């Protein structure tokens, strides 16, 4: 493990550590204890899934054909929710794997209404897996247990989450605190702060850390936000430390729960602000249009994301509304001319 040079670390780097786990820092109000109305609404909603427009997703055959056609390029593929395949310099990175029908234990919890763009059996060999936190829609236990090639996969996790993978047969598990980095292949992967929380049950809230990730490569710099609320300081600091990113994957859905007092995810407008503050060139919406987790209409996050980008002066080419299963070429910036260009539409 290598640490980021001290000069780019916040003086408050350890203040997210507390005696019984972790907290957001700078301090933000803790997520409330959710009342019965919230849970009843989520259970009820799972019985009435939205009608999904056909132009929101590709069939798996279409997705695989597109992925194979671009297999030798640097690409981004949206599997759904916060799950991406990122092909960079011949290596494949998988983010926050969620492939199950439900985001919860025992076939319960928010229900998926669009199948994964590419199913597990058709995935390419995975070289690197990035985990932002342990919520069910970001860390799929069944998938983690069943994925082949565990002995070859380098898994990057926040603090206290390593055992989840080693107990399931993974060998190369790198557990990082905020602002720590690790170099693998020709990538430097860094864990960065977010505003969120963790937990998979009734008694483990905030026992493991949560984070976002940067991936710095010879051909580009990429940011994966995981889950986060907005912070007026964190993302500006990330932008100051890293100067710019060629592409940022940003949460744009699950803001409909704010009427229950829950503010753990950014709105599309806040996501655009985060992308601007970290210096992103290309903005990709994620964490929307996949599972029944919130009250906003299925396509509203994408519409608001596009409109917010336009209002901020971004071009259509800079704000990506991807179909589930779609693969696009990673963008080129002036500093990384060796990369594949554009974005296949």
Structural domain contains residue 41: no
> Would 224 be classed as within a structural domain?
yes
Asked, for residue 36, whether it belongs to a domain, the answer is no
pTM to 2 decimal places? 0.92
Q: What pLDDT digit, counting tens, does each position of 284-331 carry?
A: 999 999 998 888 899 999 999 999 999 999 999 999 999 999 999 999
Burial classification of residue 212, based on how many CB atoms lie within 10 Å of its CB (0-12 exposed, 13-18 middle, 19 or more buried): buried
Query: Is 116 contained in some domain?
Result: yes
CATH number at residue 139: 3.60.15.10
Which residues form the domain of 198?
61-324
With tokens 């001319």, the residue in question is 337
Residue 1, exposed/middle/buried by CB under 10 A (0-12, 13-18, 19+)? exposed
List, for residues 96-144, the tens digit of each pLDDT value: 999 999 998 888 778 999 999 999 999 999 999 999 999 999 999 999 9
Structural domain contains residue 42: no
* 150 compared with 258, residue with greater pLDDT: 150
Write out the DSSP string of 116-132: -SS-GGGPPPPSEEE--
How many folded domains does the chain comprise? 1
Between strands 17-18 and 21-22, the pairing is antiparallel
- What ranges make up the beta strands (E) of the chain? 2-3, 17-18, 21-22, 75-80, 83-88, 91-95, 128-130, 154-158, 172-176, 180-184, 187-192, 212-217, 220-224, 245-251, 280-286, 319-320, 327-329
Output 196 or 333, whichever has higher pLDDT: 196
| Of 102-116, 172-186, 201-215, 243-257, the least confident | 102-116
Mean pLDDT score, 7-21: 72
Q: What does the alpha-carbon distance between residue 330 and residue 336 come to, in Å, rounded to a whole number? A: 11
Q: Is residue 1 part of a domain?
A: no
**Which region among 36-45, 225-234, 324-333 has the lowest average model confidence (pLDDT)?**
36-45
What local confidence, expressed as pLDDT, does residue 339 receive? 39
Give the position of tokens 């974005």. 343
């Amino acid at each position: 493990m290598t640490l980021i040079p001290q000069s780019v670390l916040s003086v408050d780097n350890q203040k997210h550590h507390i005696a019984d786990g972790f907290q957001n820092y700078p301090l933000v109000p803790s997520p409330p204890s959710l009342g019965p109305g919230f849970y009843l609404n989520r259970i009820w909603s799972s019985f009435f899934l939205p009608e999904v427009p056909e132009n929101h997703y590709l069939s798996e055959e279409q997705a695989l054909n597109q992925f194979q056609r671009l297999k030798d390029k640097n690409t981004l593929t949206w599997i759904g929710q916060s799950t991406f395949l990122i092909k960079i310099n011949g290596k494949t990175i998988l983010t926050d794997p969620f492939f199950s029908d439900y985001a919860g234990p025992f076939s319960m919890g928010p229900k998926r209404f669009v199948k994964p763009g590419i199913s597990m059996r058709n995935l390419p060999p995975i070289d690197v897996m990035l985990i932002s936190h342990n919520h069910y829609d970001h860390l799929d236990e069944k998938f983690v247990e069943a994925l082949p090639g565990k002995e070859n996969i380098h898994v990057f996790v926040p603090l206290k989450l390593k055992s989840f993978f080693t107990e399931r047969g993974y060998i190369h598990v790198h557990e990082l605190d905020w602002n720590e980095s690790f170099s693998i292949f020709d990538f430097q992967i860094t864990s960065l702060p977010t505003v969120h929380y963790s937990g998979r049950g009734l008694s483990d809230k905030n026992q493991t850390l949560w984070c976002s990730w940067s991936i710095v490569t010879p051909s580009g710099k990429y940011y994966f936000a995981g889950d986060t609320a907005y912070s007026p300081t964190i993302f500006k600091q990330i932008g100051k430390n890293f100067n710019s990113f060629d592409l940022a994957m940003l949460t744009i859905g699950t803001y409909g729960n704010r009427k229950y007092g829950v503010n753990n995810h950014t709105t599309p407008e806040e996501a655009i602000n985060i992308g601007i503050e970290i210096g992103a060139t290309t903005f990709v919406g994620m964490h929307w249009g996949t599972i029944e987790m919130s009250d906003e209409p299925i396509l509203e996050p994408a519409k608001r994301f596009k409109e917010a980008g336009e209002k901020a002066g971004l071009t259509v080419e800079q704000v990506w509304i991807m179909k589930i299963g779609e693969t696009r070429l990673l963008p080129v910036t002036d500093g990384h001319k060796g990369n594949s260009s554009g974005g296949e539409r």
